[in-house]
Chain A
Amino acid sequence: MTNRNAFHLRKAHIALALVLMLVVAACGAPGGSEASSDEGPITVGVIVPTTGVVAAAGTDMLNGWNLYWELNGNEVAGRTIETIHEDNAGEPTNTLTKARKLVEQDGASVIVGTLLANTALALAEYVDPLDDVIGLNPAGSADDLSQRGIVDNYVRAGGWQSSSPTHVAGNWAYDQGYRRIITLCQDYAFGHENCGGFINTFTDRGGEVVQQLWAPLGTPDYSSYLSDIDPQSADAAFVLTVGADSGRFVKQWSDFGLKDELPLIGGETTLDQSLLRAMGDEAIGLESFGHYAEGREDAATQEFVDAYLEAYDLLPSYYAASTYTAAQWFVETLETEDGDMSDIPAFLETLKAYQVENSPFGPMELDEYGGTIATMYLREVAQDDEGRLYNAVVEEFPGISQFWNYDPEAFLAQPVYTREYLGEDWPESCDQFVSDCPLEG
Chain B
Amino acid sequence: MAYGPGITWGDVGKRLPVRAAAALAGAILCLGLSAGGATAQEAPPRHTVPVDSMVFETPPPPFRDPDIFPCSQCHNADMPPNLQRRQLVDMHDDIVLKHDEEHRWCLDCHDAQNRDRLHLANGTLIPFEQSYKLCGQCHGDKYRDWRAGVHGRRTGEWNGKKQYLLCVHCHYSHEPKFKGLKPLAPPIPPGRKP
> Are A and B associated in one complex?
no
B→A interface (CB under 8 Å): none
A→B interface (CB under 8 Å): none
